[in-house]
Structure 1
Amino acid sequence: MFKPIGFYLKRLDGLITAAFDEVLAGHGLRRRHWQVLTTLAERPGAPGELAARLAPFWTEEDVSFASVLDDLIGRGLVTVADLVEITETGRATQKELEVGVDGFRARMMTGLDREDYEKCVAALDRMCANLT
Structure 2
Amino acid sequence: MRPLGYWLKHIDALIEADFAAALADFGLDRRTWQVLNTLHAKPHTYAELTAAVAPFPDTDAAVRALAERGLITVTENTLYLNDTGEKSYVEVAARVRERRERITRGISDEEYAATITVFERMAANLTTSGS
1:85 maps to 2:80: yes
Normalised by the length of structure 2, the TM-score is 0.91
Greater shift, 46-55 or 78-87, is seen at 46-55
Number of the residue aligned with 2:104 = 109
Deviation sequence 1:82-116 (CA, Å, 0-9, x none): 20011111111111011111111111111111001
Amino acid aligned to 2:70:
G
Number of the residue aligned with 1:131 = 126
Cα separation, 1, equivalents of 2:99 and 2:52:
24
Match of 2:70, SS state, is: coil
Cα separation, 1, equivalents of 2:52 and 2:93:
20
Match of 1:98, SS state, is: helix
Deviation at 1:4, TM superposition (A): 1.0
Deviation at 1:27, TM superposition (A): 1.4
Match of 1:112, SS state, is: coil
Amino acid aligned to 1:80:
V
Deviation at 1:117, TM superposition (A): 0.2
Number of the residue aligned with 1:66 = 60
Match of 1:19, SS state, is: helix
Equivalent positions of 1:1-132 (< 5 A) are 2-55=1-54, 57-59=55-57, 64-81=58-75, 82-132=77-127
Match of 2:80, SS state, is: strand
Normalised by the length of structure 1, the TM-score is 0.91
Cα separation, 1, equivalents of 2:52 and 2:96:
21
Cα separation, 1, equivalents of 2:88 and 2:10:
28
* Structure 1 consecutive aligned stretches of length 4 or more whose deviation exceeds 2 Å: none
- Structure 2 segments unaligned to the other structure (5+ residues): none
